[in-house]
């Protein structure tokens, strides 16, 4: 069956059957794929003489003697995606904790893959009708893959956001308490939140659709994670048997008695995170492009902000309890371990842009709020030749 005279009704049932198979992840043979692609092509390049749609909206000039239509097909695609995502939403209702995470990760992975295939089937619609609509400034018109993502965001993520994010935060707390987690599952969900950072002001037509260079469904999102490199802490002199110069080390802590930012900088910097903004220099965000930085709205709103708030609560409580029953040197070891764990957490499954905010927050609540207690033992450590503890405090 093929489209004739722009009559979408003749082929929609067959197209829908093909779309259903795609979203069921059934194997689509090349012949069947080309049939679906041809339906879209024939519909877009033919005009129904009985159509009363306005030329400026439903049909545009392509070549002398020909017109391109697409609005009715695009509308049906939009409704189809809404119905499909709504059915997924219903299946995810009443799930909690790990059930929610497992369902969301599996449903997202399958939906993303199927949406890529659907985007390929509708390639001609993307390259011509959608492209022209976007060039003419039409609002709320996107390539089919982007349309699928927006549908997922509006009709599945938002209704389930509270339950989903709460489940993620509980998983992270379990990991902080020493449990082994499926970090791959968390990573995929975070990738979803990053990719859903699409706004109506963002360019709706992707050049990758034109060139066929869109990433494969299994390819990780670019710029999401970069291998973490440990910062260059001031090294302890190799083989040194003499203790550090007391005046040099003490100078690092000048002005800390009032809990303001000390002169030294490093992982144990105790500055108040509220007084610092995220660096905007290229070096501070070297693993992100400017486009990526501006498209993190969903990730930041739904995950990063509650994550940082929960981190503050967790470490404020833990630090107070630990210092009640342990010495300062033991506490400094604990802080060093916690900061390294948080860096690894970002490297493993969070977005790299979270790192400076996370470390700043941890330093403030682990160090800044206890700086008087920590610096009060410096003289004792120095007199007792506790070099390891002094170097740990210094860096």
What confidence tens digit (pLDDT) does each residue in 52-72 have?
344 444 544 444 333 467 889
Q: Tell me the helices (H) and strands (E) count for the chain, helix number first.
A: 20, 2
Q: Which residues of 5-36 are buried (b: 16+ CB within 10 A; e: fewer)?
A: ebebebbbeebeebbebbbeeeebeeeeeebb
Of 98-112, 161-175, 233-247, which range is least confident?
233-247
Residue 60's DSSP bridge partners are 68
- Whole-number pLDDT of residue 216: 39
pLDDT band of residue 209 (cuts 50, 70, 90) is: very low
pLDDT in tens, 143-165: 999 999 999 999 999 999 999 99
- Whole-number pLDDT of residue 7: 72
Q: Please say whether the beta carbons of 367 and 292 come within 8 A.
A: no
For the chain, what is the mean pLDDT? 74
Across 124-140, average pLDDT: 89
Q: Which residues contact 294 (CB under 8 A, 6 or more apart)?
A: none
Question: Which of 279, 278, 249, 275 has its CA nearest to residue 260?
Answer: 275
- The domain 246-394 is placed in CATH, from the list 3.40.225.10, 1.20.1310.10, 3.30.70.100, 2.40.50.140, at 1.20.1310.10
pLDDT band of residue 291 (cuts 50, 70, 90) is: very low
DSSP 324-388: HHS-HHHHHHHHHHHHHHHHHHHHHHS-TTHHHHHHHHHHHHHTGGGHHHHHTTHHHHHHTT-HH
pLDDT in tens, 338-373: 999 999 999 999 999 999 999 999 989 888 888 777
| More confidently predicted of 3 and 150 | 150
- Whole-number pLDDT of residue 204: 54
Q: Domain 9-211: what homologous superfamily?
A: Cullin Repeats (1.20.1310.10)
Where in the sequence of the chain do the CATH 1.20.1310.10 domains occur? 9-211, 246-394
- Which pTM does this prediction carry? 0.72
Using CA atoms, how far apart are residues 59 and 304, in angstroms rounded to an integer? 44
pLDDT in tens, 168-208: 999 999 999 999 988 999 999 999 999 998 754 444 554 44
């Amino acid at each position: 069956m093929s489209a004739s005279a722009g009559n979408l009704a003749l082929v929609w049932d067959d197209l829908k059957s093909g779309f259903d198979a795609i979203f069921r992840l059934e194997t689509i043979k090349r012949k069947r794929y080309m049939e679906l692609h041809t339906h879209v092509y024939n519909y877009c390049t033919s005009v129904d003489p009985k159509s009363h749609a306005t030329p400026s909206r439903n049909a545009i000039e392509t070549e002398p003697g020909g017109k391109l239509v697409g609005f009715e097909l695009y509308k049906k695609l939009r409704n189809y995606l809404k119905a499909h995502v709504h059915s997924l939403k219903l299946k995810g209702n009443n799930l909690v904790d790990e059930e929610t995470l497992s369902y969301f990760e599996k449903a997202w992975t399958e939906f993303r893959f199927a949406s890529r295939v659907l985007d390929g089937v509708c390639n001609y619609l993307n390259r011509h009708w959608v492209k022209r609509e976007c060039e003419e400034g039409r609002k709320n018109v996107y390539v089919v893959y982007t349309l699928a993502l927006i549908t997922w965001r509006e009709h599945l993520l938002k209704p389930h956001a509270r339950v989903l994010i709460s489940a993620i935060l509980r998983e992270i707390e379990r990991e902080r308490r020493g449990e082994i987690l499926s970090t791959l599952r968390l990573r995929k969900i975070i990738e979803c939140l990053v990719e859903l950072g699409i706004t109506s002001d963002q360019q709706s037509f992707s050049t990758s659709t034109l060139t066929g260079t869109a990433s494969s469904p299994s390819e990780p999102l670019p710029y999401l994670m970069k291998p973490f490199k440990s910062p260059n802490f001031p090294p302890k002199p190799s083989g040194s048997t003499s203790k550090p110069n007391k005046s040099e080390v003490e100078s690092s802590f000048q002005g800390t008695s009032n809990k303001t930012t000390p002169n030294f900088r490093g992982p144990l910097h105790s500055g108040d995170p509220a007084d610092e903004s995220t660096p905007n220099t290229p070096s501070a965000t070297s693993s992100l492009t400017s486009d990526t930085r501006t498209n993190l709205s969903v990730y930041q709103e739904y995950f990063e902000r509650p994550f940082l708030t929960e981190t503050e609560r967790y470490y404020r409580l833990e630090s107070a309890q630990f210092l009640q029953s342990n010495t300062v040197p033991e506490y400094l070891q604990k802080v060093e371990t916690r900061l390294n764990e948080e860096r690894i957490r970002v490297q493993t499954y969070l977005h790299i842009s979270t790192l400076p905010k996370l470390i700043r927050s941890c330093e403030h609540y682990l160090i800044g709020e206890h700086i008087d207690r920590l610096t009060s033992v410096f003289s004792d450590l120095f007199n007792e030749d506790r070099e390891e503890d002094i170097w740990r405090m210094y860096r």
